[in-house]
Structure 1
Amino acid sequence: MAILGHNIIRVEFEKNPVPGGQVEVSLNPKIEELRLGEINLPNGKVKGIEVELTYNIIYSPEVGKGMIRMIVFYLPRNREDVDNILDNWEKEKKLPGELVAEVVNFANNLLIPFAMMITKEMGMPSPIPIPRVVVRQ
Structure 2
Amino acid sequence: MPVLGYNIQGVSFEKNVKAVPPGQIEVKISPTIKDLRLGEMMTPNGKVSGIDVLFDFEVEYRPDIAKASVKGSLLYIPPKRDRIDEILSLWEDEKKIDPVLMVEVANFLTTELSPMLMIIAKEMRVPYHVPLPRAELRGQ
Shorter chain as normaliser: what TM range?
over 0.9
Deviations 1:110-130 (A, max 9, x none): 011111111001111100122
Distance 1:19 1:114 in 2: 20
**Superposed displacement of residue 19, structure 1:** 5.1
Which aligned pairs between 1:17-36 and structure 2 lie closer than 5 A?
A: 17=17, 20-21=21-22, 22-36=24-38
* Residues 6-85 of structure 1 aligned to structure 2 (within 5 Å): 6-17=6-17, 20-21=21-22, 22-85=24-87
Aligned amino acid, residue 20 of structure 1: P
TM-score w.r.t. length of structure 2:
0.90
Aligned CA distance change for structure 1 residues 124 and 42 (closer, same or farther; 3 Å): same
Residue 59 (structure 1) shift: 0.5
SS at match of 2:21: coil
Which moved further from structure 2: 56-65 or 19-28? 19-28
The answer to whether structure 1 residue 93 and structure 2 residue 91 are counterparts is: no
Question: How far apart, in 2, do the equivalents of 1:46 and 1:135 lie?
Answer: 52
5+ residue gaps, structure 1: none
**Partners of 1:38 and 1:136 in 2: CA distance:** 54
Structure 1 consecutive aligned stretches of length 4 or more whose deviation exceeds 4 Å: none
Give the number of aligned pairs: 137
Contact in 1 for aligned 2:20/2:126 (Cα 8 Å):
no
Give unpaired runs (5+ residues) of structure 2: none
| RMSD between superposed Cα atoms in Å | 1.5
Identity of aligned residues (%): 43
